[in-house]
Amino acid sequence: MAFKFSMSGYQPLTNSKGRVMRLLLCLMAATLSAPSFSQQDENKDLEELQQQIKKKQQFIESNIATVKTLQQQLKKEELLISASAKKLDQTNNQLAENQREQKSLNSERKTLQKKQQQQESVLEKQLRSAYMAGNHDYAKMIFNLESASKFERLLTYYQYLNAERKQQIDAFKALSQQLVAVEKQLADKQQQLQSLRTTELAQQTQLASQQNARKITLNELNKRINTEAEQVEQLQINEQSLLQALTAAAEEVQNNNPQQVELLGLANFKGKLKAPVSGTLRKLFGNRRTGQVRWKGIIIYGNEGAPVKAIQNAQVLYADWLEGFGLVIALNHGDGYMSLYGHNQALLKGVGESVSQGESIALVGQSGGQSRPSLYFEIRHKGNPVNPSAWLVR
């Protein structure tokens, strides 16, 4: 599993000091091109220029500090949303399972009730037959019968009828007990269902509150990163963070989480893989994003909380929050291939776990500063991004 991640297509990473230096050079150039003044005026202008540079530097540093604080706040809020969404998803699964169990129990109850009715009918016929035959006084039967052999046959016949009747009665009792047990299970399941629905409602309320808090933080963050230069720089920072995280994760998995299943890569599945989530696909790969920064993957708009599924058998390479990408899960498919899924609401798998094709690995969300539910999807081969649309069924 030797992944090598590159920064091809990106300009060298800048920083806050670089911004200040560029500003200083621009201001100095403007000063040099200005008309000559007296020495006193020049000194005064130079002092004013230095004050402007100092104020600008303080503003830039303050803005950078504010952006970092807001990004940490955004991370905290999105992780809280993730925890709530995961609990809500588990509750919804329990609700679905409860309803399946109730359906099964209702079917079993109908079957038992039908059997019970059938046995009631059989018993009713036997009792009517016994009543019509009258009382069986064995002493009378002995004196009325002409031979002992006939008496013996009748006695055997009545014993058989009594045994059959007893068996039917026992079976009827057993069915009644089964029916009572099923009725109790249904009552318990119904009570459990009500409790789960109450929990679900509380979790939905909590999730909505956390999403509102995130929206406020996101709006403030977007105000701080508003120029194209700042956006380009932030994208470059995000990309570098992603590459560093994936490189470290690949080494960690290779050293501490040996491969559990055979991974065949993705080369033989080109054009045959189902999209990881249902929704509207934006084929952005290679398109200009901002400045000279280009898209390394695609966006699929989906429903919030919808399952994100593994495109092929894999081992989880990375699962965590990353600046700009939100909650990210990356899968190693073997033979140098990996797939990456970003902007999730919650992650359902952890590093080192094996996953099968079509298995749910995350939930669609808006993490990483997105304004609508979507999935960011990449495929990389030996660290280099490739067009993921070419691997998906058209």
Residue 29 lies in a domain: no
Q: Is residue 169 a part of any domain in this protein? A: no
Burial 26-52 (b: 16+ CB within 10 A, else e): eeeeeeeeeeeeeeeeeeeeeeeeeee
- Please state, in angstroms and rounded to a whole number, the distance separating the CA atoms of residues 349 and 360: 8
DSSP class per residue in 1-19:
-------TT-PPPP-HHHH
Question: According to the model, what pLDDT value does residue 214 have?
Answer: 77
- Tokens 């919650």 correspond to what residue? 346
String of DSSP letters for 106-162:
HHHHHHHHHHHHHHHHHHHHHHHHHHHH----HHHHHHH-S-HHHHHHHHHHHHHHH
Comparing 140 with 373, the larger pLDDT belongs to 373
Read off the pLDDT of each residue in 211-234 and give the average, rounded to a whole number.
Answer: 70
* Range in 106-120, 299-313, 343-357 the model is least confident about: 106-120
Long-range contact list for 202-209, CB < 8 A, 24+ apart? Answer: 203/84, 203/87, 203/88, 203/91, 204/88, 206/84, 207/81, 207/84, 207/85, 207/88
Structure tokens at 54: 């100092």
**Is 177 part of a structural domain of the chain?**
no
Please state, in angstroms and rounded to a whole number, the distance separating the CA atoms of residues 11 and 236.
8
Nearest to 217 by CA among 59, 367, 329, 364: 367
Report which of 12, 53, 54 is spatially closest to residue 31, judged by C-alpha positions.
Answer: 53
Asked if the structure places residue 19 within a domain, the reply is no
For residues 332 and 314, the answer to whether their CB atoms sit within 8 Å is: yes
Integer Cα distance of 27 and 44 in angstroms: 15
Given a cut of 90, is residue 259 above it in pLDDT? no
Residue 242: is it exposed, middle or buried by C-beta count within 10 angstroms (0-12/13-18/19+)?
Answer: buried
Q: What percent of the chain has pLDDT over 90?
A: 26
14 confidence band (pLDDT: 50, 70, 90)? very low
Tell me if 348 sits within 8 A of 363, measured CB to CB.
yes
Residue 202 has pLDDT above 60, yes or no: yes
Is the model more confident about 231 or about 247? 247
The answer to whether the beta carbons of residues 323 and 236 sit under 8 Å apart is: no
Decide: residue 56, CB within 10 A, 0-12 exposed, 13-18 middle, 19+ buried. Answer: middle
Q: Higher model confidence: residue 392 or residue 69?
A: 392
What are 117-137's pLDDT values in tens digits? 887 777 677 667 666 655 455
Q: Would the pLDDT of 328 be above 90? A: yes
Mean per-residue pLDDT, 268-281: 93
Tell whether 52 is covered by a domain: no
Give the DSSP letter string of 17-73.
Answer: HHHHHHHHHHHHHHHHTSPP--HHHHHHHHHHHHHHHHHHHHHHHHHHHHHHHHHHH
Q: What is the pLDDT of residue 386?
A: 94
Question: Average pLDDT, stretch 235-259?
Answer: 78
Please tell me the total count of domains within the chain.
1
CB neighbours of residue 350 within 10 Å:
11
Whether residue 19 is predicted with pLDDT greater than 70 in this model: the reply is no
Mean predicted confidence (pLDDT) in 305-328? 93
For residue 12, the model assigns a pLDDT of 40
Query: What distance in Å separates the CA atoms of residue 225 and residue 233, rounded to the nearest whole number?
Result: 10
Confidence of residue 389 (pLDDT cuts 50, 70, 90): very high
What pLDDT was estimated at residue 47? 66
CATH number of the domain residue 383 falls in: 2.70.70.10
Q: Which residue segment(s) compose the domain that 364 sits in?
A: 1-7+227-394
Q: Calculate the average pLDDT of the chain.
A: 77
Q: Does pLDDT of 25 surpass 60?
A: no
* Euclidean distance between CA atoms 19 and 204, whole angstroms: 44
Instruction: Band the pLDDT of 32: cuts 50, 70, 90.
Output: very low
pLDDT band at 212 (very low <50, low <70, confident <90, very high): confident
Find out whether 339 and 331 touch, Cβ atoms under 8 Å: yes
Per the structure block, which two tokens stand in for 379? 């495929």
Output the six-digit token pair for 246.
Answer: 């994936």
Residue 262 lies in a domain: yes
Over range 155-180, report the average pLDDT. 70
> What's residue 114's pLDDT?
83
Average pLDDT over residues 290-301: 85
pLDDT in the model for residue 342: 94
pLDDT at 23: 47
What is the average pLDDT across 215-233? 69
Segment 74-93 mean pLDDT:
85
At 184, the amino acid letter reads K
User: pLDDT-derived band of residue 11, with 50, 70 and 90 as boundaries?
Assistant: very low
349 found inside a domain = yes
Q: What is the pLDDT of residue 258?
A: 65
In Å, how far from its chain's centre is CA 94? 15
**Neighbour tally for 365: CB within 10 Å:** 28
Q: Is residue 91 part of a domain?
A: no
* Better-predicted residue by pLDDT, 279 or 46: 279
